[in-house]
């Protein structure tokens, strides 16, 4: 067998190659088979090689993958689809190599974070830290790869492997609890998946975690990212990542065997019951300008907010009784010619039900909102959720032709235990801070007090004398005319003072920032 690097060295992107590559994307089953074949081939090739050679070949492979990716970026969209198989094989080869040489330190934080930031890693500099610390409990090893951060935020990469080298069950890993402590202070956590969006929280500190995209995973090693947003200074402090209970699971779409049309026929009093004014907690407040800027028809979106809804009945209908979920139907029925569904339960296992016809076509969900509350603090904290959903289903006859399908996570195996690693956040912060105390727009109601710009985030502190919890419009303009898209946003309130922190999609060169626009008012960065 050739050297690993030889597998990619001769991948040249030529026009005549495109006609020989299938345009259809790989199925999940085909992807898993390709991963296993690649993994076994590389295992044979690595026998007898020392760590230095493995590291050298790994770096050559990654350089080739980056070269292929850059070349793909110059092709048309249709051609990129055709070339997807070559790029996928390249990624699979590299991720398999990485899983087999997990103990070989890369020595290069930029390479480590290319899976998240791509070419944006060039601006990490001393804001990044390679860690390579690990611990093994109950046959599973937790390895913290590295961290990129600034004064109040951090992005952490970590991975899990089994000590015996075996694969994890399912296609997803979740935790009984994930905690991130900075010198003993516990930070609240949220998990996410690509099908749910969480609005801004009232927390002053929060973190979120998730698995990297499937293409970067192999069955024997799963890699995760943690994004921490803190109110206190992180740099130079001791931080701890702690996992409690590792749960192997399968995520995907699941059909329910519960027939809601039959339920309504058996209990007709719920079909057309008395409605009530929509409860405040289930009403979404949209900013018209923000909706229009995102290409949506603001009036159409706002018009779908229901004025009346269903009261709580605590029907306790479990759509998936065989699964480990406490997310249940509170009430259902028709209001103004639409099917309304009200649900409640624990935050951990909630999902959004959808309805599909015999051809698998999904019925339009005209409105949905999920609210959260918690009891207790720290390890004793319990999180609960309530959901309200409105569907374009007009009556019982139409409902009887549909099935319930939901995307969520089915638990397969749980390894009880606690995995904990501590490390010092020895990074340097590069930022620009502007103290302004200047009135901006909205009459004299908004005073912009301070801007802090770093490689990873933008923090805006302003005073809103009207004390309305609206949103400001923020844009970032670079000297070359490029407008930087702002990523996740968090807000905290202290009286009339509001602190908003935006995370960038990738690190930026702050010396190239020309201006920040707040509600279209320009703040020049010097």
* Model pLDDT for residues 340-399, shown as the tens digit of each residue: 999 999 766 678 999 999 999 999 999 998 888 777 665 566 778 899 999 999 999 999
CA distances from 105 to 51, 95, 127, 131, 304 (A): 10, 15, 18, 9, 53
Burial code of 383-417, b = ≥16 C-beta within 10 A, e = fewer?
Answer: bbbbbbbbbebeebebbeebbbbbbbbbbeeeeee
Residue holding tokens 């015996």?
164
- Compute the radius of gyration of the chain from its Cα atoms: 25
Closest alpha carbon to 159 in 179, 182, 131, 196: 131
Q: Which helix (H) or strand (E) holds 330?
A: strand 328-335
Q: Is the dihedral of CA 271, 277, 282, 286 positive or negative?
A: positive
Q: How far apart are CA 422 and CA 237, in angstroms?
A: 10
Beta strand pairing call for 338-346 and 328-335 = antiparallel
Helices then strands, counting H and E runs in the chain, come out as 11, 25
What pLDDT is attached to residue 118?
A: 85
Task: Classify residue 85 by its DSSP letter.
Answer: H
Q: How far apart are CA 340 and CA 368, in angstroms?
A: 10
Q: Helix, strand, coil shares of the chain as percentages rounded to 5?
A: 25, 40, 35
Stretches in the chain below the pLDDT threshold 50: 1-11, 13, 15-23, 43, 46-47, 49-52, 54-55, 58-59, 62, 64-87, 90, 94-95, 97-107, 186-204
Neighbouring CB atoms inside 10 A of 33's CB total 12
| End-to-end Cα, the chain, rounded Å | 57
What pLDDT is attached to residue 33?
A: 58
Q: How far apart are CA 317 and CA 75, in angstroms?
A: 51
Residue holding tokens 């009887």?
400
Neighbouring CB atoms inside 10 A of 148's CB total 26
Q: 453 by DSSP, 3-state: which? A: strand
Contact criterion met (CB below 8 Å) for 191 and 208: yes
What pLDDT is attached to residue 247?
A: 94
Q: 369 by DSSP, 3-state: which? A: strand
Closest alpha carbon to 306 in 367, 360, 383, 263: 367
Q: Please, what is the Cα angle at 73 between 72 and 75, to 5 degrees?
A: 65
What pLDDT is attached to residue 198?
A: 31
């Amino acid at each position: 067998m050739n050297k690993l690097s030889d597998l990619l060295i001769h991948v040249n992107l030529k026009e005549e190659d495109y006609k020989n590559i299938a345009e259809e994307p790989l199925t999940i089953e085909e992807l898993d088979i390709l991963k296993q074949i690649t993994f076994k081939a590389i295992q044979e090739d690595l026998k007898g090689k020392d760590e230095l050679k493995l590291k050298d070949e790994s770096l050559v492979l990654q350089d080739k993958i980056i070269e292929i990716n850059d070349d793909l970026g110059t092709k048309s969209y249709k051609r990129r689809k055709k070339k997807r198989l070559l790029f996928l094989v390249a990624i699979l080869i590299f991720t398999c190599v990485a899983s087999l040489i997990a103990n070989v330190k890369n020595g290069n934080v930029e390479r480590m974070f290319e899976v998240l930031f791509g070419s944006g890693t060039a601006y990490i500099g001393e804001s990044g830290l390679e860690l390579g610390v690990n611990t093994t409990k109950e046959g599973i090893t937790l390895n913290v790869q590295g961290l990129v951060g600034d004064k109040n935020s951090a992005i952490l990469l970590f991975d899990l492997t089994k000590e015996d080298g075996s694969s994890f069950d399912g296609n997803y890993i979740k935790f009984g609890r994930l905690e991130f402590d900075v010198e003993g202070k516990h930070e609240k956590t949220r998990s996410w998946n690509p099908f749910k969006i969480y609005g801004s929280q009232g927390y002053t500190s929060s973190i979120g975690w998730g698995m990297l995209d499937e293409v970067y995973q192999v069955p024997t090693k799963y890699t995760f990212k943690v994004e921490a947003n803190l109110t206190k200074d992180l740099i130079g402090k001791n931080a701890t990542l702690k996992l409690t209970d590792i749960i192997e699971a399968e995520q995907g779409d699941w059909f329910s065997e519960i027939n809601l049309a039959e339920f309504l026929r058996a209990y007709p009093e719920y079909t057309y019951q008395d409605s009530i004014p929509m409860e405040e907690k289930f009403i979404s407040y949209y900013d018209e300008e923000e909706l229009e800027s995102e290409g949506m028809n603001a009036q159409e979106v706002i018009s779908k907010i229901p004025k009346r809804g269903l009261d709580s009945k605590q029907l306790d209908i479990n759509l998936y009784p065989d699964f480990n979920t406490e997310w249940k139907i509170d009430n259902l029925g028709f209001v103004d010619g639409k099917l309304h569904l009200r649900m409640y339960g624990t935050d951990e296992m909630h999902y959004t039900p959808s309805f599909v016809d015999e051809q698998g076509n999904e019925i339009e969900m005209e409105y949905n909102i999920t609210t959260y509350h918690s009891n207790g603090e720290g390890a004793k904290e319990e999180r609960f959720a309530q959901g309200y959903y409105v569907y374009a289903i007009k009556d019982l006859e139409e409902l009887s032709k549909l099935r319930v399908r939901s995307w969520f996570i089915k638990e397969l195996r749980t390894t009880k235990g606690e995995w904990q690693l501590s490390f010092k956040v020895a990074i340097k912060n590069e930022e620009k801070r502007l103290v302004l105390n200047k009135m901006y727009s909205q009459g004299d109601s908004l005073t912009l007090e301070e801007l802090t710009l770093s490689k990873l985030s933008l923090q805006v502190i302003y005073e809103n004398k009207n004390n309305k919890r609206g949103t400001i419009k923020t844009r970032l303009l670079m000297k070359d005319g490029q407008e930087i898209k702002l990523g996740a946003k968090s807000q905290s309130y202290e009286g009339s003072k509001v602190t908003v922190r935006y995370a960038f999609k990738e690190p930026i060169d702050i010396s190239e920032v020309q201006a920040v626009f707040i509600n279209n008012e320009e703040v020049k960065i010097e």
